[in-house]
């Protein structure tokens, strides 16, 4: 898959879920937007978990652990560039590596991710 296809297929989803890694707690509107996009993509809860673990967490956890305040000057273009680069290389041993360590990279956002999963589950049940 080429970079443009990745951006077309996952870009909106990635940018929508990125606020889970911000220093501040996501707002109600953030969770509502995330839930709406996840429902539109038709992801199951298991698929959502692996998108978070393999596609987003390796890039965003590094950002989260970086110098405080870097998020303020962080733009969507740079984020997308890093996410595409990571996902283009996510094959073979790299995929196995991130699968093995994905619990560590999502540990900091696990409470927020659990909150999102609950909201998505409720929304899927009411559809």
Give the Cα separation of 63 and 80 in Å (integer). Answer: 13
Instruction: Please name the residues in contact with 124: beta carbons below 8 A apart, sequence gap of 6 or more.
Output: 39, 45
Residue given tokens 């911000």 in the structure block: 22
How distant is the alpha carbon of residue 68 from its chain centre? 20
The two three-digit tokens of residue 113, written as one number: 């991710």
Neighbours of 70 (CB within 10 A): 10
The two three-digit tokens of residue 108, written as one number: 């900091």
Average pLDDT of every residue of the chain? 89
Q: How high is the pLDDT of residue 126?
A: 92
Poorest-pLDDT segment among 15-24, 35-44, 49-58, 116-125 = 15-24
Q: What Å distances lie between residue 14 and 45, 51, 54, 74, 100, CA to CA? A: 16, 9, 12, 15, 21
DSSP 78: H
Give mean pLDDT, residues 16-33.
Answer: 91
pTM above 0.85, yes or no: yes
């Amino acid at each position: 898959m080429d970079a443009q296809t990745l951006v077309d297929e996952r870009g909106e989803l990635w940018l929508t879920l990125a606020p889970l890694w911000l220093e501040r707690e996501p707002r109600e509107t953030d969770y509502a937007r995330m839930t709406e996009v996840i429902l539109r993509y038709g992801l199951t809860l298991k698929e959502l978990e692996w998108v978070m673990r393999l596609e987003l967490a390796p890039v965003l956890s590094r950002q989260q652990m970086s110098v405080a305040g870097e998020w303020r000057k962080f733009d969507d273009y740079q984020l997308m560039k890093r996410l595409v680069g990571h996902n283009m290389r996510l094959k073979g041993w790299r995929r196995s590596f991130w699968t093995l360590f994905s619990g560590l990279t999502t540990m900091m956002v696990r409470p927020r991710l659990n909150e999102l999963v609950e909201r998505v589950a409720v929304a899927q049940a009411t559809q």
